[in-house]
Structure 1
């Protein structure tokens, strides 16, 4: 059995993965449907007794390859704006890792001089809440926190700690949602909403008034109380993972 991590099979450059599957990136695809089908048949025949899976990233510009792949037993796994990832089992019980099954969000508890930074969204009738929103693809938690608060309130903040993690289902796209509430420290104080399409109003409100307001969700109140009483998980430059060539954030108790 050939266990090299990179192998040329037909026109494809294949990359071996930890599940004994091989992956074909978009750049390795041919330009014509006929060439794709001929080489795909050869690839399946060449690997069917020694690999578990075949993964193919099909670029949106090659979407006419999709019916060819599905005809050969490939099925959809996941996608992004410019590609779809298809996979084929070469053995009936081959393990296929689950596709991304959640979205990520981040919210900020920002307190200054006993006042809490809150926003009111245009599409929501739940009253005032903590600023926050989606974490973008490839974006770090602390970076998303700073960006979201700036867009929704105009306030510059720096990340302090994670105070709460919420898991909600169902959410957008039939996925779960993980919502990370963080304590952030204000570096400026003047309200200047940048995202006026989403945010109707932003303001500093007295914490006690907020906690006593009947229009505020109990969940939001619980987050604020937790932020006052606890320190949470702080961002740590931990030496155990400094050798990996990836962007990462590690959070540990204070």
Structure 2
């Protein structure tokens, strides 16, 4: 879960020192009993409180009864996933605690075929006209992969990512967080409509671009995105080599040369 820089055993804990003078304890390194956890946590705090800035502890959901022990020692909630919670304790006044994830991510697609037809969908819960296909980017999913998956699920059309043409920031959104919505162009590799996500999508079709832009039931936002896709080249995925030394999944996007 972290970029490990060094390890140190303190009490029963295997601690990981991060580049910001904080230490992290992963959930797999916690003891079995609450009593042992509390005893060793007291020892840990006493050992590092004058030389470290932060203590991070990942607690697995199976050991959620450890949480009250940690909060009693001054730990606060930072972030979580479905099977763990991350707590942090500041050991130094004004220690900087990085912001937890404060946004959700979405992706949408402008797909235009050789007949100047736009791929559009109608959602079951929507009261407006036809929209561009798209949806949430899943955890650990790349933008281009999410784009391909969402379009395929909602329309049955296989596409290839082309460029990013718009970035929207909306607040508040789900879970009282911001939402970043990335609009992309994509090249269709098939043409036959076949809706897979029938629970959310009630219709999908190819629609003449000009007719879409003239449709009074289409939002001005959607129209602006389509116009941007037609008139501008956007940001293309390129030059991945500059970060080839990083052992992570990543995508880079740069302006297209005129």
On whether the aligned pair clears a TM of 0.5, the verdict is yes
| Secondary structure of 2:106 counterpart | strand
| Secondary structure of 1:128 counterpart | coil
CA distance in 2, matches of 1:165, 1:126: 21
Q: Give the conservation status (yes or no) of the 8 Å contact 1:26–1:58.
A: yes
1:64-109: CA deviation from partner (whole Å, max 9, x where unpaired): 0000000000010000000000000111211000000000000000
CA distance in 2, matches of 1:138, 1:66: 27
Q: How many residues align?
A: 251
How many angstroms does 1:190 deviate by? Answer: 0.4
**Match for residue 32 of structure 1?**
33
**Match for residue 177 of structure 1?**
179
1:215-230 residue pairs with structure 2 within 5 A? 215-230=217-232
CA distance in 1, matches of 2:128, 2:13: 53
- 2:253 pairs with 1:251: yes
Q: Give the conservation status (yes or no) of the 8 Å contact 1:19–1:95.
A: no
CA distance in 2, matches of 1:124, 1:44: 53
How many angstroms does 1:126 deviate by? Answer: 1.6
Aligned Cα RMSD in Å? 0.8
How many angstroms does 1:232 deviate by? Answer: 0.6
| Secondary structure of 2:112 counterpart | strand
**Match for residue 55 of structure 1?**
56
1:91-240 residue pairs with structure 2 within 5 A? 91-112=92-113, 113-240=115-242
CA distance in 1, matches of 2:183, 2:13: 44
| Secondary structure of 1:149 counterpart | helix
CA distance in 2, matches of 1:98, 1:19: 14
| Secondary structure of 1:125 counterpart | coil
CA distance in 2, matches of 1:217, 1:18: 47
Q: Structure 1: which 5+ runs fail to align?
A: none
CA distance in 1, matches of 2:78, 2:255: 36
TM-score by length of 1: 0.98
CA distance in 2, matches of 1:126, 1:214: 10
CA distance in 2, matches of 1:127, 1:10: 62
How many angstroms does 1:239 deviate by? Answer: 2.2
CA distance in 1, matches of 2:122, 2:26: 44
TM-score by length of 2: 0.96
